[in-house]
Structure 1
Amino acid sequence: MKLAALQVSASEDRDDTIRRTGELIDEAARQGAGVLLLPEFFAIPFVQPDPDPGYVTWAERMDGPSNTLAQQKSAEHGMTVVSSFFEGTDVPGVFHNTSVTFVRGEARQVYRKSHLPFSNGFPEKFYFRPGQESPSVVDAGDVKLGTIICYERHFPELSRTVALAGGEVLCVPVASASAPMKEVFQLELRAHAVFNQFFVICSNRVGLEGTKDYFGLSAVYGPDGTILAQVPDGEEGVAVAQVDLEEMRAARMRRPFFRDRRPELYGSLGEEPAGSR
């Protein structure tokens, strides 16, 4: 099994960005990728620090250009492609930050970002309604995978939810441009991999968009936190890593973290902190 992270810069020309992304998917397929992750809102510019009502003109329906590319390439190459797009709805003013997992051209999972920031230059609460469902796991045939989106990497409960549902790969599409977070960004992804004993794919944007300079670092992480493949800093490209799923499964038996969990002791995790009401 080969896993791939795709890194691309988005311009104001959505058609051109989609064309370049398609070429990168083709390159990953030539390298044998079976699962490929696209960055958060890969086809369009991402939100700027100041809320802008005009930004909603980028919204798409489920069958819009972003997912059309992902679905077509998934079918063409017989691979799993995890897309990310700005979802518009029939309800005026209601939008979502959404990912769709295509398995050999079939849409098998829709996940809407449930944890939304309004901080550090990312006023996402202004634009999006949070999703109401926990991340789930898709059986892609050779591997089981789940998705959380960008800011949600700060919440370990979400990746653990994927692991407990049988997930073997965690997909994390991101739009990360905060220089002070650059080291923490990688630390968090490695920690998710180690604590949950699975592979992590993270795909980030790259390049300057308005006031934001996206730093890339798109990569595939192993269950021990090792970076197995990474797109060179500041470049567009794909990082493709061959992974050993059987070894990962065997390691879960040798180090049985899930067996040794004590859920009866974690009840407070589902409660609001004292004084928060």
Structure 2
Amino acid sequence: MKLAAVQLKAGADRSETISRARALVDDAAAQGAHIVLLPEMFAVPFVQPEPDPDYFAHAEGLDGPSNTMAAEASRRHGITVVSSVFEASAVPGIYHNTACTYVDGERRSVYRKSHLPFSNGFPEKFYFRPGETPPEVVDTGKTRVGTVICYERHFPELSRTVALDGGSVLCVPVASASAPMKEVFQLELRAHAVFNSMFVVCANRHGIEGVKEYFGLSAVYGPNGEVLATAPDDADGLAIAEVDLAQVDEIRRRRPFLRDRRPELYGRVSGSQTAPTERS
């Protein structure tokens, strides 16, 4: 099968941005992509360093224009599309950073970003309420896919959760513009692929928004950490790669990291175990 990441510049006009995104999803489907990932909150400009109450005007419901396009494209092409929106919840004043997975036009998963930064010019805690559930793995009929969102790539526990639930593909929609993070961006994503023996798809935006310059680097990674495809530099486009899903099971047998885990020793990681006391 083929996996595709959409790289996109978000303009001021939501409708125009969605139209460009639709064209890229259509292009990916025409090239045979089975799973297509859109960037984090792809249809609107992302948050700036200073909190801005006017930014809430960008929020939309789960059935708003962004997800409507993703659902329609998923249905029309018979593919899986992972969308990402600034979600206005049913409760007034509560908002989420949300990813939705559509399979053949049906919304199979709603994952709300559970780890939110307030650092490096991304004051997300001001805008979003964190989600309360772990990433959900969706059976697409051909494989199993899970999603974590941007900042959450810094927390290996989340991608491991996807692997433990049988995920073979990890989708990571991002809005990454931090210069220090650019140096380790692909290193982290390759590590997720290797530690969990899975394919990783990452979709970023590109271009200048306010004081930020998004650096792209949208790509597909193989379970050995190899870069299988990258989007064009500084432009709208696709990273699309043909993959052999049988590799996942084969590599998990050859490198049985999941088998050899010792969760009973990891209590401090989950917070279920207190820190050790100093021995006399």
TM-score bracket, normalised by the shorter chain, equals over 0.9
TM-score in terms of structure 1 length:
0.97
Q: How does 1:92-171 map to 2 (within 5 A)?
A: 92-171=92-171
1:92 deviation in Å? Answer: 2.3
Q: Secondary structure at the match of 1:70?
A: helix
- 2:69 matched residue in structure 1: 69
Task: Spell out, residue by residue over 1:53-108, the C-alpha distance to the aligned partner (whole angstroms, 9 max, x if none).
Answer: 00000100010000000000000111000000000023221100000000010000
CA distance in 2 between partners of 1:89 and 1:255 (Å): 42
Task: Spell out, residue by residue over 1:242-267, the C-alpha distance to the aligned partner (whole angstroms, 9 max, x if none).
Answer: 00001221111122111111111111
CA distance in 2 between partners of 1:145 and 1:181 (Å): 25
TM-score in terms of structure 2 length:
0.96
- 1:20 matched residue in structure 2: 20
- 1:221 matched residue in structure 2: 221
CA distance in 2 between partners of 1:123 and 1:70 (Å): 27
CA distance in 2 between partners of 1:87 and 1:181 (Å): 26
CA distance in 2 between partners of 1:222 and 1:242 (Å): 10
Verify the 8 A CA contact 2:2 2:241 in the aligned structure 1: yes
- 1:212 matched residue in structure 2: 212
Q: CA RMSD in A?
A: 1.2
1:190 deviation in Å? Answer: 0.4
- Say which is worse superposed, 198-207 or 257-266, in terms of deviation: 257-266
Q: Between Structure 1 and Structure 2, how many residues are aligned?
A: 275
- Aligned-residue sequence identity (percent) comes to 67
| 4+ aligned runs moved over 2 Å, structure 1 | none
1:270 deviation in Å? Answer: 1.3
CA distance in 2 between partners of 1:80 and 1:23 (Å): 16
In the alignment, structure 1 segments of 5+ residues that lack a partner are none
Task: Spell out, residue by residue over 1:215-255, the C-alpha distance to the aligned partner (whole angstroms, 9 max, x if none).
Answer: 00000000011110000111110111000001221111122
In the alignment, structure 2 segments of 5+ residues that lack a partner are 276-280
Verify the 8 A CA contact 2:232 2:238 in the aligned structure 1: no
